Amino acid sequence: MQAFARIALSLFFLALPLCAQTPGSEIAKWQEGKDACVSITYDDVTPNQFRVAIPLMDERRLPGTFFIITGDIEGSKYQPSFVGRPIATILRESATVPTNKDNYLERASLLNYLQMALEVPELNGFRAQSLNRNITQVSIPALAAAMDPLLAKLRATGATYPNVGRSHAVGHGPNDPVRDWPGDTRYPITWDELRRYQAEGHEMANHSVTHPYMPIMDAANIAYELDTSKKEMLEQLGPKSQFSVECPFAISDPRVKDVTASKFPITRNWVLDDFMGGVLRGDNHDPTQIQKEYVQWQRETDTATKMEEMQRWVDVSQAHGLWLITVTHGIQGIGYQPVTSDTLRTYFDYLADRQDHLWVATFQDGAKYARERHSGKVTTAVSGDRIQVTLTHTLDKKLYDLPLTVKTPIPGDWKLAHFQQGQDARWLPIHHEGDSPYVLYRMAPNGPPATISKAAN
């Protein structure tokens, strides 16, 4: 019986048409078989990102990713906080205990909070960034020289600072003073507004509660900024907002990296995947020299960025299959390093004119596609005028559910093909690569097998 079964199986394969001998299906590098991916991202919820940029993007059907400072959104439930001992206790202690290896992170976090959340005037001119190198090197004498005089100024005021709160200087009332960065409260952004933009296809991603300088913070306060903003966004925007994060100030501190990577699937601060290389913000290495399956190339716009340079980013990415990620803060006079609306319009037109070759995707979708494809497997079985395709990946199926684009060779006499996977059914046009015909289609991974069949003449 076994010998008979082997003979029958051999005769079956001999009877299959020529397409059984053609190469199998493959997963395209980018969605729809495009040459490259572009993600348009924004930081800090400055109002013209929504009043100016989104209408321009919507006109051209370009999605964007917006990294949100949750404390700057009108109606936010969770306020800035200093996690730890009462501030008054720490200040009293600083009168007799100088800054040392046991307390320097607590004190640096305290100064950061008082400046960023409460805008204490005694800290005007203090730059949290100035402590970064000394904290990285744990230079206690330098840290003590920088922080102890500031703590003394705070003690001298006799003020009692709350561990939870926000300065009136960043309130939303019509008579409140205003600042133009990170947010501008003259034109408050609301959660209702963000929900509407998200429903239109834009991604709302995490950028902490207060936009603090994270490299000088202790683990408890880093966790608070990330956990609380994540919780607020989950309650306000749902699970789609839980995927991406950008820790403020493009930090490189390994302590922050470890905490962040444990809480979010993807961060724009670091490349977390072994199969992906990266040239991040501020790095001017040539991305085309990185020998990786995927390369993430981040470029930041500012008031001095020339359009020729932005167009060159697109052209290089298209030519080399890169994932280009642009980062914008201010727009039309509001926010950090604002670009003009004309700059955005010209750049978006350049992208829209090249959408036959470029996949413009949210940051989340770009990451999901690359990861799903890297861990994916596609198999093809042929029987007569029917091709069965199975697509799987090894990632969390609930989190990684983005359809992938599959390329399948077909026989030369097919004029039209029909695709069906479960309830998803559609007709597919025939493409050619030289003399080789194929079909290209989106397919849900880890779903039922798809069937591609020859259309009746």
Based on the domain organization, do 109 and 40 belong to the same domain?
no
Residue 430 lies in a domain: yes
Nearest to 45 by CA among 334, 384, 425: 334
CB 59 within 8 A of CB 81: no
Based on the domain organization, do 255 and 293 belong to the same domain?
yes
Residue 369 lies in a domain: no
Nearest to 40 by CA among 277, 273, 339, 272: 339
Based on the domain organization, do 235 and 284 belong to the same domain?
yes
Based on the domain organization, do 408 and 318 belong to the same domain?
no
| Three-state DSSP state, 204 | strand
Token digits for 272?
A: 């977390």
What pLDDT score does 253 carry?
A: 79
What pLDDT score does 99 carry?
A: 98
Radius of gyration in angstroms for the set of CA atoms belonging to the chain, rounded to a whole number: 27
CA dihedral (408, 411, 417, 421) positive or negative? negative
Residue 156 lies in a domain: yes
What pLDDT score does 20 carry?
A: 37
Question: What is d(CA 63, CA 66) in angstroms, rounded to the nearest whole number?
Answer: 10
Q: Tokens 């059984």 map to which residue?
A: 20
pLDDT tens across the length of the chain (457 residues): 444 444 343 333 334 333 333 469 999 999 999 999 999 999 999 999 999 999 999 999 999 999 999 998 988 999 899 999 999 999 999 999 999 999 999 999 999 999 988 889 999 999 888 999 899 899 999 999 999 999 999 999 999 899 997 753 333 333 333 344 444 556 689 999 999 999 999 999 999 999 999 999 999 999 999 999 999 999 999 999 999 999 998 677 788 999 999 999 999 999 999 999 999 998 999 999 999 999 999 999 999 999 999 999 999 999 999 999 999 999 999 889 999 999 999 999 999 999 999 999 999 999 999 999 999 999 999 998 999 999 999 999 999 999 999 999 999 999 999 999 999 999 999 999 999 999 999 999 999 999 999 987 6
Based on the domain organization, do 241 and 292 belong to the same domain?
yes
Residue 419 lies in a domain: yes
What pLDDT score does 117 carry?
A: 86
CB atoms within 10 A of CB 449: 15
Question: What is d(CA 147, CA 441) in angstroms, rounded to the nearest whole number?
Answer: 60
Q: Which of 165, 197, 215 is the last residue of a domain?
A: 165
CB 114 within 8 A of CB 91: no
Based on the domain organization, do 118 and 250 belong to the same domain?
no
Note down the domain range covering 333: 35-74+175-355
What pLDDT score does 9 carry?
A: 35
Q: Which of 146, 165, 184 is the last residue of a domain?
A: 165
CA 97 to chain centre: 42
Based on the domain organization, do 267 and 181 belong to the same domain?
yes
Residue 170 lies in a domain: no
Question: What is d(CA 32, CA 283) in angstroms, rounded to the nearest whole number?
Answer: 30
Residue 364 lies in a domain: no
Q: Which residues of 164-187 are buried (b: 16+ CB within 10 A; e: fewer)?
A: eebbeebeeeeeeeeebebbbbee
Based on the domain organization, do 202 and 307 belong to the same domain?
yes
Based on the domain organization, do 311 and 284 belong to the same domain?
yes
Question: What is d(CA 215, CA 250) in angstroms, rounded to the nearest whole number?
Answer: 10
Q: How many domains does the chain have?
A: 3
Q: Which of 100, 135, 165 is the last residue of a domain?
A: 165
Nearest to 332 by CA among 8, 42, 35, 38: 42
